[in-house]
A = this chain, B = another copy of it.
Amino acid sequence: MAFDAIETPFGKNNKTVGGAATYIAWSASNFTRPINQISVVGGDFPKEELKMLQARGVIMDGVQIKEDEKSFFWSGKYHMDMNTRDTLDTQLNVLADFKPVLPDSYQDSEYLMLGNLVPAVQMSVIKQMKKKPLLTVLDTMNFWMETAMEDLENVLKHVDVLMVNDSEARQLSGQYSLVKAAKQILKMGPSFLIIKKGEHGALLFHQEQVFVAPALPLEDVFDPTGAGDTFAGGFIGHIARTKDISFQNMKSAIIVGSAMASFCVEKFGTNRLKEIGHTEIDRRLQQFKELVNFEISLV
Contact = CB atoms under 8 A, between A and B. Distances in A.
A111 interface: no
Interface string A218-253: 111100000000000000000001100000100110
Contacts of A298: 278, 282, 285-286
B251 A294 contact: yes
Interface in A195-229: 197, 199-201, 203, 210-215, 217-221
Given A201-B212, A299-B278, A179 B218 contact: yes
28 contacts: A30-B299, A80-B176, A177-B219, A177-B220, A178-B199, A178-B217, A179-B219, A180-B219, A200-B201, A201-B201, A201-B212, A211-B291, A211-B294, A212-B215, A212-B217, A214-B292, A241-B299, A248-B294, A248-B295, A251-B293, A251-B294, A252-B296, A255-B294, A255-B296, A278-B298, A285-B298, A285-B299, A286-B296
A221 B288 CA distance: 28
Interface in A76-94: 80-81
Contacts of A211: 291-292, 294
Interface in A160-180: 176-180
Interface of A: 30-31, 80-81, 176-180, 197, 199-201, 203, 210-215, 217-221, 241-242, 248, 251-252, 254-255, 278, 281-282, 285-286, 288-289, 291-299
Nearest to A249: B295
Nearest to A80: B176
Contact of A292 (B30, B81, B252, B292): B292
Contacts of A81: 176
A180 B217 CA distance: 10
A100 B211 CA distance: 44
Given A201-B201, A252-B295, A282-B298, 8 more contacts: A178-B217, A197-B200, A201-B212, A214-B214, A252-B297, A278-B299, A286-B298, A289-B296
A255 B215 CA distance: 17
**What is the oligomeric copy number?**
2
B217 A179 contact: yes
B294 A210 contact: no
Contact of A212 (B203, B214, B252, B282): B214
B200 A200 contact: yes
A263 B288 CA distance: 27
Contacts of A251: 293-295
Contacts of A241: 299
